[in-house]
A and B are shown apart, each in its own frame.
Chain A
Amino acid sequence: MFYKESKNLLNQKEINFIKDIILGNSFPWYYHQASTTKECPVYTHTLIHRYDINEEKPVINSNVFSFFEKIILKFCKKHGIKIKTFTRATLNSISFNKKKKVVAHVDHNFKHKVIMIYLNNTDGETIVYDKRFDNKNSLLLSHKMKILKTIKPELYKIVCWDGSYYHAATYPKDNNRRVVFVATFI
């Protein structure tokens, strides 16, 4: 499976922006009852809404997208990854949940890559399963799958993988929050 990661790529100015603005007390978050299913509530700040790539163009929903875009371009340049267009970008915040993990899912029904930055110290891992999108179900509720990769969250770590593999976030076991930047691109 395609997978790349980088640690320590962010400079001090970028780290300060995340600490002071993104995690600061004047940055808005919006409650969504369901990230994947009803039992998986999430607080989000949408940067680019999902859209139909065949008929629409991406609409930037937040001023902070350009901040993250620069970081992603820096990451992609380092790893030789090409970006044609972003297909979704958001900031997500989740906390302890008895469900333990989000339902396994893929973000889109077309070939894409997922990129993620862990924005705080947390224990909610990202799990990538061995099963690829079956061209029918973007959510997999009861299928048996093996774990292909467990991505441990580390502060400011950037990871990128093939988005056609079903994946899921795990909720923090401790009473902490887990804040990440997630984007998809083709």
Chain B
Amino acid sequence: MFKIIDNFLDKKEFKKIKLMLLDSSFPWYMDKVLLKEDGLITKEKYNFQFTHNFYSQYRPRSSFFENLNNLLIKINASSIVRIKSNLLSRTNKKIKHGFHCDIINVKCTTGILYINSNNGGTEFKDGSFVESKENRFVYFPSNLLHTGTTNTCEQPYRVVLNLNYYKHVL
């Protein structure tokens, strides 16, 4: 049900996105990972991450949105529902926040571009686990339940770009 593509973007394009996200001028916003009613299974005190909203509610929400143009061409998007980046700090034990779908009442494609390699990743309800690997892209139908996990390795964070979009059908 999910597909993995390694080395998804060409090196130069990936580096551009990675540098943008990890630059000290890039703003991150503290937010909850999940709401209780959306499937949160961890304690509320662990329910936080840094996020940056690029696109939602039918329009760009970030002055950095233009930096994703080539990525949008690469994923063959005809229409975007939401794009955000998430940054989860390293934890002393792996934390799963809860199985969920990113978008409710819309059937589109969910894609995750992993920005750094670490031992966190994306787990699916059937037990499959996709480890975070730099420049790996995983995509699946948006109604497939999944959960992110934190990382416990040397990397101080786990950063992903999370995309929900419609694909060109032709």
Contacts and interface: CB of A to CB of B under 8 A. Distances in A.
Contacts of A68: none
Interface string A21-57: 0011111111111000000010100000000000000
Interface stretch (B9-17, B43-51, B105-113, B135-143): B43-51
Given A31-B24, A176-B46, A25 B91 contact: no
A132 B32 CA distance: 41
Nearest to B51: A25
A31 B30 contact: no
Contact of B27 (A29, A32, A98, A177): A29
A32 B156 CA distance: 11
Nearest to A122: B45
A97 interface: yes
Contacts, number: 66
A30 B26 contact: yes
Nearest to A39: B156
A27 B87 contact: no
A97 B91 CA distance: 8
B150 A175 contact: yes
B115 to A, nearest CB: 12
A26 B29 contact: yes
B6 interface: no
B154 A175 contact: no
B55 interface: no
A95 B95 CA distance: 14
Given A41-B157, A98-B154, A31 B87 contact: yes
Contacts of B69: none
B157 to A, nearest CB: 7
Contacts of B50: 29, 31, 43
B45 A30 contact: no
A170 interface: no
Interface in B111-170: 150, 154, 156-157
Nearest to B91: A175
A177 B24 contact: no
A43 B24 CA distance: 9
Interface of B: 22-32, 45-46, 48, 50-51, 87, 89-93, 95, 150, 154, 156-157
28 contacts: A25-B31, A25-B51, A27-B29, A28-B29, A29-B27, A29-B28, A29-B30, A29-B50, A30-B24, A30-B26, A30-B27, A30-B28, A31-B24, A31-B50, A32-B24, A33-B22, A43-B28, A43-B50, A93-B30, A95-B89, A96-B90, A97-B156, A98-B154, A173-B92, A175-B45, A175-B91, A176-B45, A177-B30
